[in-house]
Amino acid sequence: MSIDDATTAANDRLAGSEDMIVCVDVDKFYGDFQALKGVTATIKEGEVAVVCGPSGSGKSTWIRCINRLEVHQGGDIVVDGIELTNDLRNIEKIRSEVGMVFQQFNLFPHLTVLDNITLAPIWVRKKPRAEAEAMARALLDRVGIPEQAEKFPGQLSGGQQQRVAIARSLAMEPRVMLFDEPTSALDPEMIKEVLDVMKELARSGITMMVVTHEMGFAREVADRIMFMEGGEIVEVGTPEHFFTNPTEDRTKLFLSQIL
Amino acid sequence: MSDVNQVSADAEEEQFSPHETPSLPVGQWLRKNLFSNWANGILTLLGVLAALAALRGVLNFVFSENRQWDAVRTNLRALMTLSYPESQYIRVWVALGFIVGLAGLSAGIWANWGGVSVRRISTWLMGTGALLALCVIVREPSVILGSDGKVIRSIDGSLRRESFMDAMVDRSTWWIAAVLLLAVGAALWSRFSDPVRRRVEVSVTSVVFVGLGLAVLSLWIAPYGHYAFISETKSYIAESGRTVAFSTKMPWTVMLILLSCFFFVGRFFQSGRYLGFVKGASNLLWLISPLTLFWVVLRDPALDYGHVISTDLPMGLAFGLLGGALLWGLTRASIGEAGRITATALLVFAIFNWVAAFFGWYPMLQKARISFLLLALAALLAPNFMGEVAKRRQLVLGWVGVTALVHYLATMINTPSTVELQSTEFLGGLGLTLFVALIVVLLSFPLGVLLALGRTSKFPIFRMLSTSYIEVIRGVPLISVLIFFSVMVPLFLPDGMELAELAAVLTGYTLFSAAYLAENVRGGLQSITKGQYEAADAIGLTPAQRTGFIVLPQALTVSIPQLVGQVISTFKETSLLAIIGLFDFLRVANSVIPAQSEFMGVKREGILLVAMIYFFFNFTISKYSQRLERRVGLGER
């Protein structure tokens, strides 16, 4: 099954949706080392795409290129019709439409949970403080920790911190959410609470791109799974195809190690 | 033996709730920490003996019959402000009152001082009482004075001292004070020792206010500090027939009232809609007011209104209005490349003006040079304010405000003083020391932060400039910077261009201190993880917002200990001002007082007082910074 076939299969649910993220031949070098080798993929609006693969395969690099935390050297990346170039205005526009959740949470330790969430809406979206705070409390309610609003990040558990980080991204009302290994730094008993929030998000219809090793999550909510190795997308398919009938040997090897 | 102790300790622990660390009874604590084995016991005894010997030495020095404390008492005014005329003294109090009020306001706005338990206070009282009693005991008995007031000597020439018992009786006032303190402390301790009451706290602010109130009250009830004599020739030495307490009780009472009034004003705004505005205003006042108080209130410049109307005012207006119009044009959305070219041309012109000044190619008022440089910097910043009318107005109004301030201060600084003086500089003593320290710390702070940001910037030109500036300044001793600015800079200036010496020295000291502050801030900046930058970028903050909201607050928090160290050393190093001829606090004690005919050569008393006052200020700063660290550390835990 070729990449195009798999894309068609995934498109059933998303038929008629517009392209949200388009990557064409994206190259990225760290010195002599090529981290991304001509990555080409399209993610539709409302799609949940899971990216997996062994460590060092370029998953994180790719997802970080999409909101310009890393600069790609070759190819094109277009997000919601805006091309990522060196033009600062484009970068700012894309960043305010793309939310990102990090492996290490990266909450601002000197601000309360509420201030973490309302900072960008107030200063980037220019919302009145009262409105921003009301939205922040609603979001905290949505991620299940309404009672932690006045605390500092350091006083929360890892799972709670990651949920605050998700709320912080959602506060910008993004059209796309990027997740860079959101559960890898968590203790096992906290992974579920974060995944539950992500599942709820996926059902709400937001476009999501998730780098993760949580195969259960991928099987349950992904529209499409992309398998990367050595800076290339090796295999693309629906969860069904990916877990039951992978075509590539490298995918089979990876699955045998991880499952 | 040790088994028995163990058992009783266990029994003791059970009385406390499980999450509270039990404190050992005094006897056991001593045994555990100071006398755990015989070597430890000997060390403890030796340490105690050394401490007692040192205390005895200090007390004997202070209370020795050879000390002439009159020299300090009578010269208090000289120590504070040197020869500032008595008739104008209200200016000093006004300046001090303004700063005290501002401090009260800031304390009210910012401070959440927290509480201190009553038990803690009771231990302070008991500790002070015990220390006082100890002092009374270890101090050498006094020398016996004959009926003519002269020291009585024995046949072999040694001093005759009273017996130990007589000395104890003589010092009964001190005994009463010590016993009172101990008794009050012990009463509080026992009253607040049960598990519920031991947690009772009073706010630190009320403790501070009660302390200050008692200090001021003491001025009213105890007329201490008799001046030794009244000098007819040196009017600044002492008032006739007065005591220190009498001549200062009124002003200090006003200071206390100002402090508390503004504290409550600040408190009132602490939870309100205008908090942001009040914070901004108080910060701005901190930046501006020391300079204004120093050069305008204390100096009372004799303005030449003809010159003001013909030159100063038109020039200020021209820079304010024309510069504002230029900036308004530069922030048009359609300006494009032309804006950048204009700004660069302006910068080149502004820098050329300074080069020309050094070679004396053409005359130009200093104010104009500074204004051109500032205008060039504002023009470079213009792209950040492009677009919306509100933002453009912000930049233009900011420019007009800065111009007005700079021209006002520059005019005032270059106008001669009307205060009639007996020395070259209008202020000396502690007043000079404090003002210089305050101005240097406040001005070098923003400059240092900018330098640190420049040094860590990703633009090579900023990085290069900041790095070379910092390295050059750090490679030069402070004294040479001060001498350079006081002696060399005036030599380089062309004819007709003047710069008050003190202003030049302050500039040099600020530039010096900023380089060190920059290095401390840089240490903080480097401790911010990459993730913080990425998270700020990812939620769409602009680089300026990222710096202001995320990076700097954390970096400054991390570098509080180093920054406070820098503040303290800036304060102490103001004593180097003596080398370039200014009369700072230490120099007054070290060379002015010993030169008076009445107190020829009396140096030690003054220097001891100077040391104590330096210590008081620096210890307060250090303690406050520890509190601050604990408070802002909340986010980390």
- For B539-586, how does the pLDDT look when each residue is reduced to its tens digit (9 = 90+)? 988 888 899 999 999 999 889 889 999 999 999 999 998 888 888 899
Distance from CA of B244 to the nearest CA of A (A): 48
Tell me whether residues B538 and A99 touch, CB distance under 8 A. Answer: yes
- Whether B296 has a pLDDT exceeding 60, the answer reads yes
Distance CA A242, CA A245 (A): 6
Tell me whether residues B632 and A110 touch, CB distance under 8 A. Answer: yes
Q: Which of B539, B546, B631, B632 to mutate to test the interface with A (most CBs of A within 10 A)?
A: B539
Tell me whether residues B539 and A67 touch, CB distance under 8 A. Answer: no
Tell me if B208 is assigned to some domain: no
Residue B530 pLDDT grade (very low, low, confident, very high; cuts 50, 70, 90): very high
Residue B321 pLDDT grade (very low, low, confident, very high; cuts 50, 70, 90): very high
Search chain A and give the residue with CA nearest B545: A123
Which tokens hold the place of B130? Answer: 């015990």
Exposed, middle or buried: residue A38 (CB in 10 Å: 0-12, 13-18, 19+)?
middle
Same domain, B464 and B391: no
Residue A12 pLDDT grade (very low, low, confident, very high; cuts 50, 70, 90): low
Q: What percent of chain B has pLDDT over 70?
A: 90
Question: What's the pLDDT score for residue B514?
Answer: 95
Tell me whether residues A102 and B535 touch, CB distance under 8 A. Answer: yes
Question: What's the pLDDT score for residue B301?
Answer: 84
Exposed, middle or buried: residue B508 (CB in 10 Å: 0-12, 13-18, 19+)?
buried
Side by side, which strands form the sheet with A33-44?
A: A33-44, A19-30, A74-79, A82-83
Residue B77 pLDDT grade (very low, low, confident, very high; cuts 50, 70, 90): confident
Tell me if B312 is assigned to some domain: yes
Closest CA to A139 of A109, A160, A117, A161: A117
* A139 has a chain B CB within 8 A of its CB: no
CATH of the domain at B80: 1.10.3720.10
Predicted ipTM of the assembly? 0.91
Distance from CA of B267 to the nearest CA of A (A): 21
Search chain B and give the residue with CA nearest A167: B539
Question: What's the pLDDT score for residue A236?
Answer: 92
In this structure, is the dihedral angle defined by the CA atoms of residues B366, B372, B375 and B380, taken in order, positive or negative? Answer: negative
Domain boundary among B397, B429, B457: B397
Question: What's the pLDDT score for residue B242?
Answer: 74
Compute the average pLDDT of residues A37-47.
92
Same domain, B391 and B451: no
SS3 state of residue A29: strand
Question: What's the pLDDT score for residue A176?
Answer: 93
Question: What's the pLDDT score for residue B3?
Answer: 43
SS3 state of residue A162: helix
Search chain A and give the residue with CA nearest B631: A110
State the residue range of the domain holding B438. Answer: 68-84+421-637
Do the Cβ atoms of A22 and A197 come closer than 8 Å?
Answer: no
Distance from CA of B16 to the nearest CA of A (A): 26
Q: Domain tally for chain B?
A: 2
Tell me if B428 is assigned to some domain: yes
Tell me whether residues A123 and B545 touch, CB distance under 8 A. Answer: yes
Question: What's the pLDDT score for residue B12?
Answer: 40
Do the Cβ atoms of B381 and B395 come closer than 8 Å?
Answer: yes
Question: What's the pLDDT score for residue B272?
Answer: 77
Same domain, B460 and B495: yes
Residue A67: its chain B contacts at CB < 8 A? 537-538
Residue B8 pLDDT grade (very low, low, confident, very high; cuts 50, 70, 90): very low
Of the CA atoms within 13 Å of residue B98, those in its CB half-sphere come to 18
Residue B423 pLDDT grade (very low, low, confident, very high; cuts 50, 70, 90): low
Domain boundary among B346, B362, B397: B397
Which tokens hold the place of B627? Answer: 């509190």
Distance from CA of A218 to the nearest CA of B (A): 24
Residue B559: its chain A contacts at CB < 8 A? none
In B360-493, which ranges are continuous DSSP H helix? 366-381, 389-413, 429-455, 460-474, 478-483, 489-492
Same domain, B329 and B436: no
Distance from CA of B548 to the nearest CA of A (A): 12
Tell me if B109 is assigned to some domain: no
Tell me if B439 is assigned to some domain: yes
Same domain, B322 and B433: no
In B14-88, which ranges are continuous DSSP H helix? 26-33, 38-63, 70-74, 76-81
Tell me whether residues B554 and A95 touch, CB distance under 8 A. Answer: no
Search chain A and give the residue with CA nearest B533: A106
Residue pointed to by tokens 């992978």? A246
Distance CA B360, CA A9 (A): 81
Report chain A's terminal Cα–Cα distance, integer Å: 22
Same domain, B431 and B364: no
Average pLDDT, chain B: 84
Compute the average pLDDT of residues A140-161.
92
Distance CA A105, CA B543 (A): 20
Tell me if B188 is assigned to some domain: no
Tell me if B351 is assigned to some domain: yes
- Whether B39 has a pLDDT exceeding 70, the answer reads yes
Do the Cβ atoms of B311 and B407 come closer than 8 Å?
Answer: no
Distance CA A14, CA A209 (A): 15
Same domain, B502 and B603: yes
Tell me whether residues A110 and B542 touch, CB distance under 8 A. Answer: no
Domain boundary among B335, B363, B397: B397
Distance from CA of B273 to the nearest CA of A (A): 11
Same domain, B369 and B459: no
Question: What's the pLDDT score for residue B232?
Answer: 55
Same domain, B427 and B546: yes
In chain A, which ranges are continuous DSSP H helix? 3-10, 59-66, 88-97, 113-123, 129-142, 158-170, 188-203, 215-221, 239-244, 249-258
> Which of B534, B542, B636 is facing A109, going by the closest CB pair?
B636
Same domain, B624 and B542: yes
Q: Which region among A107-121, B27-41, B355-369 has the lowest average model confidence (pLDDT)?
A: B355-369
Tell me whether residues A110 and B541 touch, CB distance under 8 A. Answer: no
pTM for the model: 0.82
Do the Cβ atoms of B374 and B404 come closer than 8 Å?
Answer: no
Question: What's the pLDDT score for residue A158?
Answer: 92
Average pLDDT, chain A: 89
Distance from CA of B388 to the nearest CA of A (A): 13
Tell me if B472 is assigned to some domain: yes
What are the backbone angles phi and psi of residue B382, rounded to the nearest 5°?
A: -50, -45
Helical axes A113-123 vs A129-142, angle rounded to 10°: 130
* A13 has a chain B CB within 8 A of its CB: no
Distance from CA of B554 to the nearest CA of A (A): 7
- Whether A2 has a pLDDT exceeding 60, the answer reads no
* A2 has a chain B CB within 8 A of its CB: no
Search chain B and give the residue with CA nearest A121: B539
3-state helix, strand, coil in chain B (%, to 5): 75, 5, 25
* A22 has a chain B CB within 8 A of its CB: no
- Whether B361 has a pLDDT exceeding 70, the answer reads yes
Same domain, B557 and B476: yes
User: Of the spans B5-9, B418-422, B437-441, which averages the highest pLDDT?
Assistant: B437-441
Same domain, B498 and B575: yes
Residue B260 pLDDT grade (very low, low, confident, very high; cuts 50, 70, 90): very high
Tell me whether residues A154 and B637 touch, CB distance under 8 A. Answer: yes
SS3 state of residue A84: coil
What are the backbone angles phi and psi of residue A179, rounded to the nearest 5°?
A: -120, 120
- Number of A/B CB contacts below 8 angstroms equals 73
Compute the average pLDDT of residues A206-217.
92
Query: How far is CA B77 from each of CA A2, B155, B298, rounded to the nearest angstrom?
Result: 93, 43, 15
Tell me whether residues A107 and B535 touch, CB distance under 8 A. Answer: yes
* A71 has a chain B CB within 8 A of its CB: no
